[in-house]
Structure 1
């Protein structure tokens, strides 16, 4: 069980969204987010054989599409490993919002790529502090997961961040160094979210650090963007202060 239950209002939002057939509930406000450090316990987000803590959204503009088959097979979990086929532009988003945590996960690239990115860099992403309705690029701060670009910041949906003394709304901040392992090997991504500060760490190397984030709490999202990718050991840890 999470260290702090969601508020009655947040549960009501989810029930309303489900009743209306919405793809997912609206994001929880910052004052409703689970404070992982305050709770003092690790939260395992990816369990052995299910996606209990996640909602699925598939971009209806990608083919083939029907309400009955929109989520089938894109995200599957076996022996604690999440397999993302990448065939459709889609995303997994946590049902709860979080703040003040160290996100730790491992990923590795698969072999398959799909149009329109069959010849492009393999691409995915971890979107932090997601607010608003589910989209492939929900309003958030993204820690980029892409071949050669792991740890870049993207300010999605009008969010802002300050990196190296430069404040910016939207766009990208490139990582300071490339710490990604060769394709096929597992990489460890850590993202420290401490108030309005975000630090991206790739395989133990700090590659990007931002402050004055316009968002400080929200849901967490994993993307399917035309490339096969695997995730495992996805968890949130309290900050060591």
Structure 2
């Protein structure tokens, strides 16, 4: 009798998903860029101090800004940063847990040769390539920049509500703060600073995790929640509509950066412990 009950429980658990988790899917095959599109915008003339206004466009990468290399004994995506743009999944995603590792390289390029190393994880990316200043899709940004990893930027109309408090001239994520709207038209602007700072020193690998479910997102750096974002939306001519799914885009923004172990799994909710 006891054995029969145990077998029945195992069957119920497997059929109802009580003990099973969705499997991880690798987004990079570690051999080539199959499943991804590249887009490169205008170049920056360091002599004339102007943009040339002529994008290289979709899947045109003569400079090999995006390539698969071997570093630290492991295959990784190298983004040279030589030209502003992005590499995006051809598939759109919703309700997922995304996980990747990244570390900064050595090279920096104009117009950010003398600036912090910069890149970014753009999610819920929709619409035309180059919508943001000629380089990136409309999206929500998980900022990846030296010292600023985990910040939020609304890109080309992306919009989120975040609990935040103002610190000097900037708004900083604080779970005890007032829920504020961040987009390019709001009084707060389109940028909110992460809290705490959980990035490792430049040259070390960082683990980035992103949870998206419905209209909510959670930014995690090296195992620490650095921001919870709510009511994901987008602006069109001043009108707000939901933005809850889209492609994933990694930025090229003047700095050499490496990405590896880029993988995703479907979720049915965000773990409650992450939303506190």
- What TM-score bracket applies, with the shorter chain setting the length? 0.7 to 0.9
Q: Secondary structure at the match of 1:98?
A: coil
CA positional deviation for 1:160: 1.3
Give the aligned CA root-mean-square deviation in angstroms. 2.1
Match of 1:46 in 2: 28
Change (3 A) 1:67 1:108: closer
Q: Where does the alignment leave 5 or more consecutive residues of structure 1 unmatched?
A: 1-38
Q: Which moved more, 1:184-193 or 1:58-67?
A: 58-67
How far does the alpha carbon of each residue in 1:136-174 deviate from its partner, in whole angstroms, 9 at most, with x for none? 221110000000000001011112111111122231111
Match of 1:174 in 2: 193
Contact 2:77 2:259 in 1 (8 A): yes
Contact 2:38 2:60 in 1 (8 A): no
Match of 2:82 in 1: 87
TM-score calculated relative to the size of structure 1: 0.79
Match of 2:159 in 1: 160
Match of 1:228 in 2: 256
Match of 2:39 in 1: 57
Change (3 A) 1:206 1:129: same
Q: Are 1:98 and 2:79 matched, yes or no? A: no
Match of 2:106 in 1: 111
In 2, Cα distance between equivalents of 1:92 and 1:132: 14
Q: Secondary structure at the match of 1:141?
A: strand
Aligned residues: 203
How far does the alpha carbon of each residue in 1:98-154 deviate from its partner, in whole angstroms, 9 at most, with x for none? 000011000000011011110100000000000101122211100000000000010
CA positional deviation for 1:41: 3.5
Structure 1 or 2, whichever has the larger Rg, is: 2
TM-score calculated relative to the size of structure 2: 0.69
In 2, Cα distance between equivalents of 1:47 and 1:212: 33
CA positional deviation for 1:67: 5.6
After the TM superposition, list the runs of 4 or more consecutive aligned residues in structure 1 that deviate by more than 2 angstroms: 39-42, 60-70, 238-241
Change (3 A) 1:66 1:132: closer
